[in-house]
């Protein structure tokens, strides 16, 4: 029986990405540089490094540039947690206080400001699934929306040089939730708490667990919680968006805190990585949990993670309390660790139902389309990720090149 060859996007069509990024983002000085990777059916079809990794030193962006991936750490932590689920270490319906006893009697914010909050008992018990879906009632300090997130900023719970996972969990026990668990969606430090649980359930530090169970099996030799000495020359500068579509240096790679191992191992946003390293992880997700003969998660477990786990199978607009997200709300649900496209038309962005992925604060992003066996990774270093609609534009360029 003769097999029918599968069509591939033409290189000339994918080269539109390079032209678009040059004309709309690099030449106007909106972003410093970028690396974009497109793969289909397990093969890298197109990968291009453009612009500069360090504007002040005029150093070119290269394919092996090291990036702060921020919240693209979250899917890795979620996979680690579900590896432990496969070992029978917990159930998603388990109350979080089973593993963190100080969280047994959590309360919800009613009025006041830190430390004088008026609270009421939560009407539901926080479960591990609530942590994995960001329906826990926790928040982030940087959202600057409520008195609760103001307390997070005051206590530096989004990360500081003195914070540890133990301190995070202890301090969160003393603060009210934004809402009762399971009643709404709010992007939060939930995945940092999952990192704490990975340590408690596995008996290993988070960095050791990641290395042994995800990075080493996949050959992700460039990924970790700090930039090693041999990587420092390839480490990108990070920039902050300014009014007028300009940017200024936010983190100098020669003086960055990432040059030293951190005390706080943030499962929610602490990793650095390269385009090719993250491709190995994303490709494993595209192939049902396996890459080059190394399986990091079961096929059925991953299928389960890719379902929309929001209460009532709602999408984000129905449940979000209006905070920050790394994905447009419309047409998206949330699985166990990443957003899931549930309605292509409603999303107003080309794609496929079941597409999943996430992004990072410095505008990095990835998505996996199981229907098209497609993986796309975009790396740059501009904060915040809401500065420009480049993620949606990239989807139009990539899908428009598919035969």
Which residues are CB-neighbours of 32 under 8 A, at least 6 positions away? 51, 52, 53, 54, 55, 61, 236, 237, 239, 247, 380, 381, 382
Instruction: Write out the chain's pLDDT in tens, 403 residues.
Output: 445 555 566 667 999 999 999 999 999 999 999 999 999 999 999 999 999 999 999 999 999 999 999 999 999 999 999 999 999 999 999 999 999 999 999 999 999 999 999 999 999 999 999 999 999 999 999 988 999 999 999 999 988 778 999 999 999 999 999 999 999 999 999 999 999 999 999 999 999 999 999 999 999 999 999 999 999 999 999 999 999 999 999 999 999 999 999 999 999 999 999 999 999 999 999 999 999 999 999 999 999 999 999 999 999 999 998 777 787 789 999 999 999 999 999 999 999 999 999 999 999 999 999 999 999 999 999 999 999 999 999 999 999 998 7
Adjacent-strand bridge partners of 95: 127
pLDDT at residue number 380: 98
Residue 164 Cα distances to 3, 91, 269, 384, 387, angstroms: 55, 26, 14, 24, 30
Residue in 46, 25, 24 with CA at minimum distance from that of residue 37: 46
What phi and psi values does residue 22 have, to the nearest 5 degrees?
A: -60, -55
pTM over 0.85: yes
Handedness of CA 145, 147, 149, 154 (dihedral sign): positive
pLDDT at residue number 82: 98
Query: How do 382-383 and 238-242 pair as beta strands?
Result: parallel
Could you give all domains of the chain from N- to C-terminal order, each with its CATH number?
11-82+204-400 (3.40.710.10), 91-202 (no CATH)
SS3 call for 264: coil
What phi and psi values does residue 304 have, to the nearest 5 degrees?
A: -65, -40
Peptide bond into 384 cis (omega under 30): yes
pLDDT at residue number 319: 92
Residue in 360, 314, 348 with CA at minimum distance from that of residue 334: 314
Query: How do 246-251 and 294-295 pair as beta strands?
Result: unpaired
């Amino acid at each position: 029986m003769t097999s029918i060859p599968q069509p591939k996007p033409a290189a000339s069509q994918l080269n539109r990405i390079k032209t678009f990024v040059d004309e709309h983002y690099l030449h106007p000085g909106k972003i410093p540089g970028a690396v974009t990777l497109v793969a289909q059916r397990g093969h890298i079809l197109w990968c291009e490094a453009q612009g500069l990794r360090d504007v002040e030193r005029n150093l070119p962006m290269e394919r092996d540039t090291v990036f702060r991936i921020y919240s693209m750490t979250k899917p890795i932590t979620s996979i680690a947690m579900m590896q432990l689920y496969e070992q029978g270490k917990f159930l998603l319906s388990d109350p979080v206080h089973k593993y963190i006893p100080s969280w047994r009697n959590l309360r919800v914010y009613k009025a006041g400001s830190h430390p004088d909050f008026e609270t009421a008992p939560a009407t539901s018990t926080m479960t591990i699934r609530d942590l994995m879906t960001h329906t826990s009632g926790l928040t982030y300090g940087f959202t600057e929306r409520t008195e609760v997130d103001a307390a997070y900023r005051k206590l530096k719970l989004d990360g500081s040089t003195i914070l540890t996972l133990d301190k995070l969990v202890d301090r969160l026990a003393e603060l009210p939730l934004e809402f009762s668990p399971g009643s709404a969606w709010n992007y939060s430090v939930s995945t940092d708490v999952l990192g704490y649980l990975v340590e408690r359930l596995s008996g290993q530090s988070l960095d050791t667990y990641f290395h042994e169970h995800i990075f080493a099996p996949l050959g992700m030799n460039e990924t970790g919680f700090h930039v090693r000495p041999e990587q420092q020359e390839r480490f990108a500068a990070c920039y902050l968006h300014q009014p007028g579509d300009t940017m200024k240096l936010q983190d100098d790679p020669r003086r960055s805190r990432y040059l030293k191992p951190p005390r706080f191992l943030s499962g929610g946003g602490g990793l650095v990585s390269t385009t090719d390293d993250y491709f190995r992880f994303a490709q494993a997700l595209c192939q049902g949990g396996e890459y080059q003969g190394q399986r990091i998660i079961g096929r059925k477990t991953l299928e389960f993670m890719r379902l929309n786990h929001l209460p009532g199978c709602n999408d984000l607009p129905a449940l979000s309390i209006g905070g920050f997200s790394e994905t447009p709300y419309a047409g998206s649900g949330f699985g166990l660790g990443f957003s899931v496209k549930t309605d292509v038309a409603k999303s107003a962005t080309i794609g496929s139902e079941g597409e999943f992925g996430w992004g990072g604060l410095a505008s990095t992003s990835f998505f996996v389309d199981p229907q098209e066996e497609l993986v796309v990774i975009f790396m740059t270093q501009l904060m915040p990720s809401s500065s420009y609609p480049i993620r949606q534009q990239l989807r139009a360029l990539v899908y428009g090149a598919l035969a």
